[in-house]
Structure 1
Amino acid sequence: MKGQKTAMVVLLGSLAVGLVNEADAAIALDRTRAIFPGSEKSIALNITNDSTSMPYLAQGWIEDAQGKKISGPLVVVPPLQRLEPQGKSMMRINALPDAASLPQDRESIFYFNVREVPPKSDRPNVMQLALHTKIKLFYRPKAILPEKYSRWDNQLVLHKVSGGYRVENPTPYYMTVIAITAAPKVAVPKGFQTVMVAPKSSAVVQSGQFATPHVTTINDFGGKPTLPFRCSGNVCRAEVPKS
C-alpha cells in the first residue's frame, strides 16, 4: 500500500494539508506502518521510483515520539540512495545495541521518514518540491511478540465520559481508534479525531454515545477491523464472537 505524499510533512492517517496529486509523487513506500520485532536485528522496507523518466534520490531517517530526528536506537541504512526510473530498492532499519534499553514490557513508537529528492531542473523559474512520507514505526520487544494474526482490540474497555468515551488500553501495544459508531459500516461523523492510545494507558475519544458502540481500529496489516461493545452502566466491553 502506497503512502500519501505531501509537500509538507503529513503523518499517514491524519488530515493532510496541501496534498500534492499522487501522480506528481515518485518515491513510493510499500506500507503505511511498520513493526520492528525485538527478535530481529533489522527489517526491510521496499521503495519504488514510480517516475518513468527521471531518477530520484531517496533519503530516510527515524524520529522519536516527539518528532525529533535521532541516530539510535534505530537507524536507516542507507540513509540516502539513488533510484533509476521505475527502479525498486529497499531501506533497512537496523537496531543498535541500545535498543536493549527500550521498555521490554510494551511497545515503543518511532516514525520512519522517506523524502524523495528530484533531479535538478534545467528549466529556469521551476519550483521543485521534495515530497515526504512519514509512517508510524513500532518497536515490539521479543517478550510481547504475539502469535501471527492475533488481535487485541477486543481487550479495550470503554468508559462513558462527557462528550464520548475514555478508551482504556490494558495491552502492551499501541491502539489507534479511527471510529466509534452506532453500527458497522456507518459513516464516521465529520470531524471525528483519530486517537492513538498508548500501551497500558487510556485516552479520551470525542464521539457520540451509543447503546452498542462499534469501535474501529487499525491492525498490524493496515486493516480496519470493527468490534461491537456491550455496555453495562458506564462501562463497555468487547462482545466476544461465539465460536
Structure 2
Amino acid sequence: MTPPPHQNPADPATRNQAPRDPASDNPAAEAPDADAAAVRDATARLLTAVETLDDAALRAPSRLPGWTRGHVLAHLARNADALLNVLSGRPMYVSGQARDADIERDAPRTPAVHAADLRAAAARLDAAFAAEDAQSWGRTVELRNGVTDLAAAVPFRRRIEIELHHVDLGLDYAVDDLPADFVARETATMARRFHAHPDVPEAVELRAEDGRTWRTGAPAGEPVVVTGTPAALTGWLTGRTTGSGLSASGPLPVLPPL
C-alpha cells in the first residue's frame, strides 16, 4: 500500500501552510458546534475500527510512509491534545522533535491502551469545544509553523485529522466512505490551499460530477479541467490516491507535498 508521492505522515490540517489571514482559509468556521458533533461521530467510527485490531494489526504498516497503524493512532491522540493547547493559547507542540518523539513512544502500545488514550484525549478536546461560546469562537489562534486561523475552524481541522487518518489506517474505511459533507468542504479547503501555490504552475478547474466546481493552481490561464466524483477529487487533492477515478483535459497536475 504505497501512498502517493505528495502524502506524508504529518498533520493534514496544518502541514506546510504559510502564515496568512485566518479569514482567507476558513471554510469551516460557520457552525463550530455542529462541527464538534461531527468530530464526535467520526471519533466513534474510528474507535469502533480500533477495537477490532490486535497487536499484529497495529504493528502492520499504515498507508503513510514509515508509519505503522500504531503511529497513526498515537498521532491522533496527541493531535487532540495539541489542538487543546491551541484553544488554550499555548504552543500547539513544544517542538517538532517532541511531537515526533511522543508518537514514537506511543506507537507500540496495545490496542486497548491506544483506544483508551484516544478516547480520553478526544473527550478532553470535546470538553474544550463545549466551553467555547459565540464570542470566543471568533478569536484568532495559532497552530504550527506560524499558521493562524479562527478558533471556530479548529473543530473542522480536527475532523480532517480523524477522517483522513482513518483512511490511512488501511482498514475497511476508504476515500469513498468519507461523509459527503466532509468531502465537499475538504475539496474547497484543498482548492484554497493550492490556489496560487508556486509548485502548482498550471491553472486547474476541479469539476465534481454533481456540478460543483472549484478553481485552484495558477490564478490565470486556460485551466486543466479535472473531473470526477467529489470523493475522487478529495482523495487526489489530499494525497490519498494518485488520481484514480478522475479524468483530465491534459496531463494530471503533479501536486506538491502536503
Normalising by structure 1, report the TM-score: 0.30
Normalising by structure 2, report the TM-score: 0.28
Q: Whose strand fraction is larger, Structure 1's or Structure 2's?
A: 1
RCO higher in structure (CA 8 A, sep ≥6): 2
